[in-house]
Amino acid sequence: MSDEVFTRDLCSWLDANLPASLCTAMPEDEIPWGGSRGRFPNPDTRRWMDAMAARGWTAPTWPRMYGGGGLDATRAAILQQELRRRGARPALFSFGLWMLGPVLLEYGSEAQKQRFLPPIVRGEARWCQGYSEPDAGSDLASLRTKAVDAGDHWRVDGRKIWTSYADEADWIFCLVRTDTGRKHGGISFLLIDMKSPGISTRPIRLISGSSPFCETFFDDVAVPKEHLVGPLNGGWEIARKLLQYERQNVAAAGFGGELKRIEARARQLFGIDAQGRIADAALRERIAHADMYEYATRLTMQRAQREVDAGQASSASSVVKYAAAHANQQHYELMIETLGYEGLGWQGAPYETESLEQTRKWLRSKGNSIEGGTSEINLNVIARRVLGLPGGA
Amino acid sequence: MSDEVFTRDLCSWLDANLPASLCTAMPEDEIPWGGSRGRFPNPDTRRWMDAMAARGWTAPTWPRMYGGGGLDATRAAILQQELRRRGARPALFSFGLWMLGPVLLEYGSEAQKQRFLPPIVRGEARWCQGYSEPDAGSDLASLRTKAVDAGDHWRVDGRKIWTSYADEADWIFCLVRTDTGRKHGGISFLLIDMKSPGISTRPIRLISGSSPFCETFFDDVAVPKEHLVGPLNGGWEIARKLLQYERQNVAAAGFGGELKRIEARARQLFGIDAQGRIADAALRERIAHADMYEYATRLTMQRAQREVDAGQASSASSVVKYAAAHANQQHYELMIETLGYEGLGWQGAPYETESLEQTRKWLRSKGNSIEGGTSEINLNVIARRVLGLPGGA
Amino acid sequence: MNFELDMAQCLLRDNLDNFLARQYRFEARRQIVLGEPGWQPTLWRRFADELGLLGAGLPEQAGGSGGGAIEHMLVMEAFGKALVVEPYLECCVLAAGVLARSPGDAATALLARIAEGSAIVVPAWSEPVGGVATQARRTPDGWQLDGRKAVAVAAPWATHLIVSAQVEGTTGTSLFVVPRQAQGLALQSYPTIDGRRAADLECAGLALTAEALLGTAGASQALLEQMLDEGAAAVCAEALGVMARLHADTLAYVCERRQFGQAIAGFQVIQHRLVAMHLKIELARAATVFASLSLSKTARERALAVSTAKVTVAEACRFVAQNAVQLHGGMGMTDELPLGSYFKRATAIEREFGDVDHHLRRHARLERVAA
Amino acid sequence: MNFELDMAQCLLRDNLDNFLARQYRFEARRQIVLGEPGWQPTLWRRFADELGLLGAGLPEQAGGSGGGAIEHMLVMEAFGKALVVEPYLECCVLAAGVLARSPGDAATALLARIAEGSAIVVPAWSEPVGGVATQARRTPDGWQLDGRKAVAVAAPWATHLIVSAQVEGTTGTSLFVVPRQAQGLALQSYPTIDGRRAADLECAGLALTAEALLGTAGASQALLEQMLDEGAAAVCAEALGVMARLHADTLAYVCERRQFGQAIAGFQVIQHRLVAMHLKIELARAATVFASLSLSKTARERALAVSTAKVTVAEACRFVAQNAVQLHGGMGMTDELPLGSYFKRATAIEREFGDVDHHLRRHARLERVAA
């Protein structure tokens, strides 16, 4: 089958299977997270996920034997392009898809791949990530949640923090300590069923209000031996790969792009001048400035992506996380400024729902320079890896 | 004699002795540096210096036995106030007066005070300071210019840098190494006649053009034993006191205060709006901003001064050097911005002399955050001394 | 600027700090703020009775101690440190300031009730679209007010409101004292981002007696502007307390938090950040003291000093609050520490009584040049 | 944005870098810049003959290699790295760009002379008070120009100038080619802050032939604007070279400079500063490449991309240059290192072809919103 034929078939399949209601902006509560507790307020969301999953196109490049689409890079790009052209919502949001899958494909045993990958592709199993601990944040490798060899199973005890959606997830992939004698060399990568006795979660409230973050507690949790991924005490290498992946992910997610809204509000709040521009010259120029910064950041992202795609090491990619956090925070500072009195509200009338939401997003954006590696740690990393400066902390 | 009588006498003395030509702004080339090579383009400058020196009022609070004015704090303040009221220029500019004098009064022997203080008061001896070395800047205590005991004299070898006006000075006060076995505890404070054989100076050119800075070379220079101030190897304590003094000095000198000029230029360059304000709103607000920052810095200086005057330890004084450097740099950034094309010139027509001077002052201001302790070192010091954080570098 | 606290002022500050340290612990405060009515009326009476606080800045003929701007500054800084939500600012600084400058026995009597803690008077001056669109019409019995006011902080707790309006046939601003229970006055109350309570007001055929008018109709614009400058200076002082706490908490956290085998306070970048926060607080303090001392000068001098303080403080608030969160890492983002509440108050202060742009613009308009 | 250099472009860049590394050492350059004429005409011929550089971005019919914006970008970056003062920007980018878009044999012939290195053509567009006050009057023999031009960089070295003027009876801008030796043209030459040479021009009864006019009278405003955008993009590329050198020198210095018993490169604050410089350079690079690729798009797209680049680059220049000086400590303030000259060039670029305010304002006027 030629690429042309593939494209033609794809188009007619999309015409038949992509519901019109999913070619619109995606509200928060219709994100297709899947999982055993998946919620689909719009039944089309479910239909679309199932249809895509049936073809393996929720994971287009994964091998067909694990439920994936088995597409090469060209066809995956065609698929992307056609979906984008139609403004289709993603069929599935999933940490399993973005993070665990690539790890299993590289480090997992054949049995693990066969067992865990297909439910991810189909959106049946929802995964969360158990990395940070209260005393192991920037210094992740000092983690202490321990897995002790109990003969035919592991016994896990400890506490993870910042486990997004742990209260919704079916499974968790975890870094655990299997050797207390060595720091980086005593960490293993373990898959744990969230239904296991001894696991509990507690949601974390942020300054911006409720959040998907949880604390997750492991109290004498039994985990089958075969759920260890990669070699015993070989978890740190996997973790590093995954963290890198997370950094890019965090950088790209929720980054700017609402300047139009800010401009509209600014016109409303400050009025317009004779040329129809925002009357407040200083604010107008600050918006232009933020726009330029976002744009330059976006161009740098693209450059990094191009270099990564071309198989080169990209020094630009290390810039992206930092710059994107900064751009997003600056963005919401402008937003809150244009909200005026509306930005003082916390809940309820007379405040507009949208204003309240923007205010909370502004507060939430303060976390951008903390999550997925603080900006300070990120600068340390760039100093060492890109500039080759001597290591300190 | 009551303070009232003192004031009355002072006023009639000033009426008789303060030349009218010295109640105007002081051009650079009329600064009364004194010394054996002193230049007085305006003979009134010389007359004024001599008249003030004869009364000891160039050093109002120093004891009369060393040529000073012997005034108490109240009368010194009255003198200051009357001078300021008349807009009188300072009678004498002198590192001897500002820096060495206080050191000698505290640490000098009786013989040293009698020999060195009176010529300072009279403006006969001009002093310069020999502290930094090419490899001892921020880490001053690593200095290597050494003074070796040669029986009846010291033999000094080494190199000092940033010795302002070394090529004009009669004497230099120096930090020298007298013990190579200990770092801070191997430094002594030595007075050296600049006419001694073996001393040479080389002026340093800055990015802003010529400068008063020199490198000063000591090649087997003989220094009499009695020119050591304080105990052998006890120079670091003296140096620290002096550095603290220098920091305050540097902070207060040449700090801002020309915003009126910037505003005038901005009006010229960008025109004015219907209300007579600078037409460029963003620039207008930046000027207001700089003005506020300068003002807050000035208020902090005053507060620090008040606390110091009241004999309290002031945490505000440590802020002053940093903030003043920042304010001054920001000030010249605005200045250069309002110069427009005029700011591109380097020398000669068609550029206005004043524009060229401002351009060079702007370049020179880049040194504000370096000289007298870099801003980075200054922040280290505040971290330790004010916030009590653990020492690193 | 010459400034020394006298003995009474030192006593006031120390007593208040001690009282709040014992009586206004953060966890108790959190519960009160989340519940109803969202403040402690009994504590308010103790402020009056035990500490003589409510009259500290009020004239003696109204039962106050004859203090002024410095007393307000001391109280507000202490309130900032303890994150007190009780309406000293709105009642004892803003409303009391207006009443003290208004002629007539009614004003003096109300002032006395403020000092003794029996009246909570709160101003309502801002409107949804800016300017003063609220209209006052003369009636045979006095006045009738119609219009809307937005974000009157502490209004839900008030016994009286001071409402700005435009009197029919005049161009300037007028101020009216409105009893909370007056017919025709409706409040829509809500919590603000920093855990306070505010209300939007609707006056519809609100009938008032003739004495409700403060001063002369149409002649209160200058009074209102002075009130706003006093408010700005007061929140600047409050910010000093808020920032001191943010800085102290952060300093303590980095000394305790260990990563990579050492307290993170040992990292130079973190040390310099804490120093930068400290520097901004010092500048903010100098500018705030000067603004407080300038409140009794000419309108122009007052405005320049207050705008300088408000901008310096607002920028310090932003920098200090954001870096306090940043240096706390993930913990800084949670709602579990006092930090989050201080952060929100700091960012609210940034905007209250005119944001940076507003004060830069006013300052640029007045065009003072540093002497 | 899709961007890969082709083989010829890589070759051009590498050859030029090698050539400059050998033939344009900093100490020799310093002497040349301080002396007369302040540049190396013989080197210019070698640029043409040995490297084919001068025609790299010119059309083939004029003897060029048919390149364009990318070639200009590569040359300018290399020139920035070596701090070349020779007038590639003024002659081969600005003037050549205008000539290439102008009809007529005279323009093509002059272009060919640029490519072979025998003509140095330099534009003079700015005037002491802004706008175009220089007047062009038709005469029986052609044109007469009267007026003044300010800060025409490289004009002292030019064989021809391209002068903007207003033709009597038209409202738009017109451009004229003026031979350097023309009667009635007087130059006042001087060095600029960054070691280049510029001149103010006075045209007094300057007589030109009819062919001196480029294109149609009054119709060259768009051409001039395109030229200015091309100039802005070119100095952005130059800035990338300048900043790369400032960063590299600073990195080397902090690794070598020892204080407190260690290389100062070990201090975290210094490391983070170097990283911050690097980050700004990366953003500047992305924005500059995009601006170069946008030069052939619509005037609006071009303007948005160029303004974004110029602002991003100018801010990077300021931050990188100032911190390069700061991290060099006292040595950074002396005129003894190449650093000082790079610093000055960086700050000049900040202002050339419109400063940050100018481009922010233009961008805000066009009001693109990031897609």
Contacting A residues, span 21-80, partner chain C, CB-CB under 8 Å:
none
Identify whether C200 is part of a domain: yes
**Bridge partners of residue A200, in order along the sequence:** A217
DSSP letter at B345? B
Q: Answer whether A206 sits within 8 Å of C128, measured CB to CB.
A: no
Instruction: Indicate if C104 and C159 belong to the same structural domain.
Output: no
CB contacts, 8 Å: A137 with chain C: 259, 329-330
D241 close to D79: Cβ distance less than 8 angstroms:
yes
**B247 has a pLDDT exceeding 50:** yes
**Which of A236-250, B215-229, C9-23, C87-101 is least confident?**
A236-250
Identify whether D141 is part of a domain: yes
* Average pLDDT taken over every residue of chain B: 90
Instruction: Indicate if D332 and D361 belong to the same structural domain.
Output: yes
pLDDT of residue D284: 97
Cα–Cα distances (Å) from A264 to A173, A272, A361, C359, in that order, read: 43, 10, 18, 24
Q: Please indicate if any CB of chain A lies within 8 Å of the CB of B282.
A: yes
pLDDT of residue A348: 81
Cis-peptide, bond into residue D128, ω within 30° of zero: no
**Bridge partners of residue C178, in order along the sequence:** C161
Best B322, B370, B380, B381 residue to mutate vs chain D (most D CBs within 10 Å): B370
Distance to chain C for B268, nearest Cα, Å: 16
Cβ–Cβ contacts within 10 Å for residue C11, how many?
A: 11
**Which of B110-114, B333-337, C82-86, C314-318 is least confident?**
B333-337
pLDDT digits 0-9 by tens, D286-324: 999 999 999 999 999 999 999 999 999 999 999 999 999
Backbone Cα Rg of chain D = 21
Structure tokens at B197: 């054989």
pLDDT of residue A254: 46
Instruction: Indicate if C173 and C254 belong to the same structural domain.
Output: no
Instruction: Indicate if C336 and C356 belong to the same structural domain.
Output: yes
Instruction: Report residues of chain A scoring pLDDT below 50.
Output: 250-254, 393
Instruction: Indicate if D256 and D330 belong to the same structural domain.
Output: yes
Distance to chain A for D59, nearest Cα, Å: 29
Q: Answer whether D200 sits within 8 Å of B206, measured CB to CB.
A: no
State how far the Cα of B133 lies from the Cα of D331, in Å rounded to an integer.
11
A323 close to D283: Cβ distance less than 8 angstroms:
yes
Identify whether D317 is part of a domain: yes
State how far the Cα of B307 lies from the Cα of B248, in Å rounded to an integer.
14
First to last CA, chain A: 55
Exposed/middle/buried for B328, CB within 10 Å: 0-12, 13-18, 19+?
A: buried
**C367 has a pLDDT exceeding 90:** no
- Residue with the bigger pLDDT between B229 and B1: it is B229
Identify whether C237 is part of a domain: yes
Predicted model pTM: 0.93
CB contacts, 8 Å: B136 with chain D: 259
Which CATH architecture does the domain made up of B127-233 adopt? Beta Barrel (2.40)
Cβ neighbours of residue A30 under 8 Å, at least 6 residues apart?
A40, A41, A42, A45, A89
Q: Give the helix/strand (H/E) hosting C59.
A: none
Query: For B319, which residue in chain C has the nearest alpha carbon?
Result: C279
Backbone Cα Rg of chain A = 23
Q: Among candidates C78, C64, C59, C63, which has minimal Cα distance to C10?
A: C78
Of D188, D270, D344, the CB nearest to B349: D188
Cα–Cα distances (Å) from C196 to C33, C36, C44, in that order, read: 7, 11, 15
**Which of A122-126, A204-208, B301-305, C267-271 is least confident?**
B301-305
Q: Please indicate if any CB of chain C lies within 8 Å of the CB of B379.
A: yes
Structure tokens at B81: 């106030």
Q: Considering chain B, what percentage of its residues have pLDDT values greater than 90? A: 65
Instruction: Indicate if C248 and C302 belong to the same structural domain.
Output: yes
Q: How many domains does chain C have?
A: 3
Q: What is the mean pLDDT of residues B271-290?
A: 81
pLDDT band for B254, please (50, 70, 90 cuts): very low
3-state secondary structure B158-192: EEEECCCCCCCCCEEEEEEECCCCCCHHHEEEEEE
pLDDT band for B258, please (50, 70, 90 cuts): low
DSSP letter at C308? H
Distance to chain D for A35, nearest Cα, Å: 33
Q: Give the helix/strand (H/E) hosting B39.
A: none
Q: Answer whether C269 sits within 8 Å of A376, measured CB to CB.
A: yes
Instruction: Indicate if C202 and C115 belong to the same structural domain.
Output: no
Q: Among candidates A260, C270, B189, which has minimal Cα distance to D370?
A: A260
Query: For B291, which residue in chain C has the nearest alpha carbon?
Result: C370
Cα–Cα distances (Å) from D104 to A46, B342, D18, D107, D115, in that order, read: 67, 37, 38, 6, 17
Q: At what angle do helices D338-351 and D299-327 cross, to 10 degrees?
A: 150
First to last CA, chain C: 14
**Which of A27-36, B254-263, C354-363, D350-359 is least confident?**
B254-263
State how far the Cα of A296 lies from the Cα of D363, in Å rounded to an integer.
14
**Which of A309-318, B235-244, D85-94, D116-125 is least confident?**
A309-318
Best A162, A213, A344 residue to mutate vs chain C (most C CBs within 10 Å): A344
Q: Answer whether B139 sits within 8 Å of D343, measured CB to CB.
A: no
Owning domain of residue C153: 122-214
Contacting C residues, span 248-307, partner chain B, CB-CB under 8 Å:
251, 255, 263, 265-266, 268, 271-272, 274-276, 278-279, 282-287, 289-290, 307
C269 close to D272: Cβ distance less than 8 angstroms:
yes
Last residue of a domain, one of C65, C95, C119: C119
DSSP letter at D86? S
Q: Answer whether D272 sits within 8 Å of C269, measured CB to CB.
A: yes
Q: Among candidates D110, D10, D7, which has minimal Cα distance to D55?
A: D110
CB contacts, 8 Å: B288 with chain A: none
- CA A388 remoteness from chain centre: 29
Hey, what CATH class is B255-386 in?
mainly alpha
Of D266, D282, D357, the CB nearest to A316: D282
**D371 has a pLDDT exceeding 70:** no
Q: Please indicate if any CB of chain B lies within 8 Å of the CB of C129.
A: no
Last residue of a domain, one of C119, C138, C156: C119
Last residue of a domain, one of C59, C84, C119: C119
pLDDT digits 0-9 by tens, B141-169: 999 999 999 999 999 999 999 999 999 99
CATH number assigned to the domain comprising residue D236: 1.20.140.10
Cis-peptide, bond into residue B350, ω within 30° of zero: yes
Contacting D residues, span 91-120, partner chain A, CB-CB under 8 Å:
none
pLDDT band for D369, please (50, 70, 90 cuts): very low
What letter represents residue A359's amino acid?
A: T
Instruction: Indicate if D149 and D80 belong to the same structural domain.
Output: no
Among A270-279, B131-140, D90-99, the range of highest mean pLDDT:
D90-99
Best D254, D267, D274, D282 residue to mutate vs chain A (most A CBs within 10 Å): D282
CB contacts, 8 Å: C34 with chain A: none
CB contacts, 8 Å: B281 with chain A: 281-282
Best C260, C269, C275 residue to mutate vs chain D (most D CBs within 10 Å): C269
Q: Please indicate if any CB of chain D lies within 8 Å of the CB of A295.
A: yes
**Bridge partners of residue C187, in order along the sequence:** C201
Give DSSP secondary structure letters for A211-259.
-S-EEEEEEEEEEEGGGEESSTT-HHHHHHHHHHHHHHHHHHTT----H
Look-up of token digits 């303890």: C82
CB contacts, 8 Å: C361 with chain B: 285, 288
Q: Considering chain C, what percentage of its residues have pLDDT values greater than 70? A: 98
Chains B and D: how many Cβ contacts under 8 Å?
95
**Domain residue limits, chain B:** 3-93, 127-233, 255-386
Instruction: Indicate if C159 and C56 belong to the same structural domain.
Output: no
**C274 has a pLDDT exceeding 80:** yes
Q: Answer whether A393 sits within 8 Å of C258, measured CB to CB.
A: no
The chains in contact with chain B, meaning 3 or more Cβ pairs closer than 8 Å, are A, C, D
Identify whether C322 is part of a domain: yes
First to last CA, chain D: 14
pLDDT of residue A282: 81
pLDDT of residue C220: 96
